[in-house]
Amino acid sequence: MIRSDNSGLQALRARAYALAESGQFANAHAVEQALVAEGWPNIHRALAGDYARKAISERCLTAKPH
């Protein structure tokens, strides 16, 4: 059970990173809202750590057109 839960959280983080890298979102909060709209479960659990939010925010900034 823990293994499948962990792989689900990893899939959610991977999707969050992909959205952030798309350049369509300004910050981690906007990516989180997009994940909610897509219907992902356990969003708050997957993105609870500062590391995940910081990584998403950095990817949003890097993906912005200059």
pLDDT digits (tens, 9 = 90+) for 11-66: 999 999 999 999 999 999 999 999 999 999 889 888 888 899 999 999 999 987 75
**Tell me, what's the pLDDT at 1?**
43
Domain map (residue ranges) of the chain:
2-63
d(CA 18, CA 34): 12
d(CA 39, CA 62): 26
Mean pLDDT, residues 4-16:
88
HSE-CB for 23 with a 13 A CA cutoff: 5
Total number of residues shown for the chain: 66
Nearest to 47 by CA among 22, 23, 19: 19
pTM over 0.95: no
